[in-house]
């Protein structure tokens, strides 16, 4: 028998979508595509309190911005619709009932106060906090009475006493956990919503998910899911727990505390989606030939989840920056022009974009760098006297500035070759040191020491403005 591979990503609309989520989604997407299967998007909105308005739309939007898509999902529908858990409440209820009927789960009427107190005591006694199974001892009559009285309740999983729960992880091999370390997990909350654990198992089964690739943080709750699959008599999917991203400093799981984590913000900060995807591809995995620049198509062809490294990986910003530069330099002028549009400052002279862009395109690390790399073209500059006089005394610099001003003013044909000829002729007719002279002019015209090539830059700034800046530089050194 040949079953179709079906993978899924199941975000929860509670806040910003994390780069780690995109990285995991990419793996699910690529594997499904590679196997000719389907990739499903499912919304896990079972937490009524943390639900954020508009989050679902933002998640879908950011996935699209990264150039990825799904085959079945809330907006597209599909054979397993609906794909939003809050619309599937009746389904979970039905399965919980079977569980209770079959003695695999039980009603629990414990109050929050009692649970809090219990946990507090356990911690004080240095025990591990765990439900004390108080309501497992309730008689059918007591349960019935509580129900009749309308007491709020949850449904808990009846975890066996001394059993070894084993499952196979595609990346790590066999993982075993003693049932004694597993809590009687709440499956159905008192508001009638399922917890993640119930919903994920029911939905993954009903949606015929064959491979679950999710974050490593789920390893310790996987036994609960295995128990549920057993309780229902279902076959569990193949698991691959993806290692977490560590902060760039290598300390702990990547967190907002230590910098940017939202998938959207990397885009907003001028990283190209292709570069980010490529970065996620090679973080923790490498193709057979070790190359590091990969297109999505190549990745889909070569990706093998079983070869993902099992260790958590540092989110190396320097490697990302390098990759982003590589991808920017691969763009044609037209493509770059189009992509950089939304990063242009309001006062950027758009008419000059076509002239300026080629001068700085290979200096861009992110698209957002456009502002800091070009502001001197169109914004007032200031002169640093020390920089102007760094390699020559005031008398010589004054002379250089005034003769350069004359030479530039004299140009009637404002082209780069004419400009270059005028300045080179001037330099060659004197004993001015080339490096000193060029650098001084650079500083006088742009206010900085690192710029695009001098003649192109001068040409771009314009004759009148350049003359003014040269004169201002003269003022500065007086």
Partner RNA sequence: GGCCCCAUCGUCUAACGGUUAGGACGCCAGGUUUUCAUCCUGGUAAUUGGAGUUCGAUUCUCCAUGGGGUCACCA
Interaction between residue 322 and RNA (CB under 7 A): yes
Q: Is residue 50 a contact partner of residue 16, using CB atoms and an 8 Å limit?
A: no
Of 112 and 346, the one with the shorter C-beta distance to RNA is 112
If DSSP codes are grouped into helix, strand and coil, which group holds residue 17?
A: coil
The only residue of 134, 205, 307, 390 in contact with RNA, by rule CB under 7 A? 307
Residue 192 DSSP one-character state: S
Q: Which of 70, 285, 327, 377 binds RNA (CB under 7 A)?
A: 285
Strand partners, 107: 155
Residue in 128, 137, 351, 395 binding RNA, rule: CB under 7 A: 128
Which residue from 91, 175, 300, 426 is in contact with RNA, where contact means CB under 7 A? 175
The total number of residues written for the chain in this structure: 478
Is 286 near RNA (CB under 7 A)?
Answer: yes
**What letters, b where the CB count within 10 A reaches 16 and e where it falls short, cover 115-152?**
beebeeeeeeeeeeeebeeebeebeeeebeebeeeeee
Using the rule CB under 7 A, which residue among 93, 133, 136, 253 binds RNA? 253
Q: Which stretch binds RNA (CB under 7 A): 232-240, 266-274, 284-292, 332-340?
A: 284-292
Q: HEC string of 387-445?
A: HHCCCCCHHHHHHHHHHHHHHHHCCCCCCHHHHHHHHHHHHHCCCCCHHHHHHHHHHHH
- Angle made by CA atoms 66, 67, 72, in degrees to the nearest 5: 105
For RNA, the binding residue among 16, 203, 204, 216 (CB under 7 A) is 216
Question: Would you call 434 a catalytic residue per the annotation?
Answer: no
Determine the Cα–Cα distance for residues 80 and 40; give it in Å rounded to an integer: 10
Contact call for residue 189 and RNA (CB under 7 A): yes
Of 256, 311, 330, 434, the catalytic one is: 256
- Under the criterion CB under 7 A, does residue 434 sit at the interface with RNA? yes
Using CB under 7 A, which of the segments 189-197, 262-270, 333-341, 402-410 binds RNA?
189-197
Of the chain, the end-to-end C-alpha distance in Å amounts to 88
Judge whether 441 and 454 are in contact, CB under 8 Å: yes
191 in contact with RNA (CB under 7 A) = yes
Q: For tokens 């059993």, name the residue.
A: 163
The piece of 66-74, 76-84, 181-189, 459-467 that touches RNA (CB under 7 A) is 181-189
For position 186 contacting RNA by CB under 7 A, the verdict is: yes
What residues from 324 to 383 belong to the interface with RNA (CB under 7 A)? 325-326, 329, 362-363
Q: What are the backbone dihedrals phi and psi of residue 191, each rounded to the nearest 5 degrees, phi first?
A: -90, 5
Q: Should residue 318 be labelled a site residue for RNA when binding is judged by CB under 7 A?
A: yes
Q: What is the dihedral sign for C-alpha 340, 346, 351, 352?
A: negative
Q: CA-to-CA distance for 238 and 226, rounded, in angstroms? A: 11
> What residues from 14 to 73 belong to the interface with RNA (CB under 7 A)?
14, 44, 46-47, 50
Q: Contacting RNA (CB under 7 A), which of 12, 24, 264, 474?
A: 12
Residues 131-150 that bind RNA (CB under 7 A): 131
From the CB of 1, what's the least distance to RNA, in Å? 30
Establish how many alpha carbons lie within 13 A of residue 165's alpha carbon, considering only the half-sphere containing its beta carbon: 24
Q: How far is the CB of 198 from RNA (least distance, A)?
A: 9
Least Å from the CB of residue 436 to RNA: 9
By rule CB under 7 A, what count of residues binds RNA?
82
* CA-closest candidate to residue 458, choices 408, 389, 391: 408
Pick the binder of RNA from 84, 89, 110, 411 (CB under 7 A): 110
Q: With contacts defined by CB under 7 A, name the span among 64-72, 133-141, 390-398, 436-444 that binds RNA.
A: 436-444
Among 67, 152, 349, 358, binds RNA (CB under 7 A): 152
Instruction: Tell me the three state secondary structure of residue 349.
Output: coil
**Helix or strand run (H / E) with residue 9:** strand 6-9
Q: Binding RNA by CB under 7 A: which of 124, 306, 395, 450?
A: 450
Q: How far is the CB of 438 from RNA (least distance, A)?
A: 4
Closest CA to 276 of 257, 303, 299, 305: 299
Q: Binding to RNA by residue 454, rule CB under 7 A?
A: yes
Which residues touch 391 (CB under 8 Å, ≥6 apart)? Answer: 433, 435, 436, 439, 440
Distance CA 156, CA 104 (A): 9
Q: Answer yes or no whether residue 221 interacts with RNA by CB under 7 A.
A: yes
Interaction between residue 246 and RNA (CB under 7 A): yes
Residues catalogued as catalytic = 256
């Amino acid at each position: 028998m040949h079953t179709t591979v079906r993978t899924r990503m199941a975000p929860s609309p509670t806040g910003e979508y994390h780069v780690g989520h995109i990285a995991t989604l990419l793996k699910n997407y690529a594997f499904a595509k590679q196997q000719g299967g389907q990739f499903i998007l499912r919304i896990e909105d079972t937490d009524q309190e943390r639900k954020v308005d508009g989050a679902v739309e933002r998640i879908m939007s950011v996935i699209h911005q990264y150039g990825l898509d799904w085959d079945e999902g809330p907006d597209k529908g599909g054979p397993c619709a609906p794909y939003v858990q809050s619309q599937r409440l009746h389904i979970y209820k039905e399965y919980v009932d079977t569980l209770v009927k079959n003695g695999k789960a039980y009603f629990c009427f414990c109050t929050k106060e009692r649970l809090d107190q219990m946990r507090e005591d356990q911690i004080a006694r240095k025990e591990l906090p765990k439900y004390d199974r108080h309501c497992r001892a309730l008689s059918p009559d007591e349960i019935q009475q509580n129900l009749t009285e309308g007491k709020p309740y949850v449904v808990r999983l009846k975890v066996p006493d001394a059993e070894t729960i084993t499952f196979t992880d595609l990346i790590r091999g066999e993982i075993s956990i003693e049932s004694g370390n597993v809590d009687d997990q709440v499956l159905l909350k008192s508001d009638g919503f399922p917890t993640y654990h119930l919903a994920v198992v029911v939905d993954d089964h009903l949606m015929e998910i064959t491979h679950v690739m999710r974050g490593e943080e789920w390893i310790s709750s996987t036994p609960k899911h295995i128990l549920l699959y057993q309780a229902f008599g279902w076959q569990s999917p193949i698991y691959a727990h993806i290692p977490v991203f560590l902060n760039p400093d290598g300390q702990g799981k990547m967190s907002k505390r230590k910098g940017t984590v939202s998938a959207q913000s990397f885009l907003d900060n001028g990283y190209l989606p292709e570069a980010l995807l490529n970065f996620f591809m090679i973080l923790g995995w490498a193709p057979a030939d070790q190359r590091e620049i990969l297109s999505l198509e190549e990745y889909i062809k070569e990706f093998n989840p079983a070869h993902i490294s099992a260790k958590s990986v540092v989110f190396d910003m320097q490697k990302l920056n390098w990759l982003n530069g590589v991808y920017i330099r691969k763009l044609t002028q037209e493509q770059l022009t189009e992509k950089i549009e939304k990063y242009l400052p309001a006062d950027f002279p758009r008419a000059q974009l076509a002239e300026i862009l080629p001068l700085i395109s290979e200096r861009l690390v992110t698209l957002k760098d456009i502002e800091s790399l070009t502001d001197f073209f169109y914004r007032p500059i200031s002169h640093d006297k020390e920089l102007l006089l760094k390699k020559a005394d005031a008398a010589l610099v004054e002379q250089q500035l005034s003769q350069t001003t004359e030479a530039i003013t004299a140009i009637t044909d404002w082209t780069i070759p004419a400009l270059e000829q005028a300045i080179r002729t001037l330099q060659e007719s004197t004993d001015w040191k080339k490096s000193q002279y060029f650098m001084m002019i650079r500083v006088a015209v742009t206010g900085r020491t690192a710029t695009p090539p001098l003649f192109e830059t001068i040409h771009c700034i314009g004759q009148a403005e350049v003359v003014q800046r040269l004169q201002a530089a003269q003022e500065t050194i007086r």
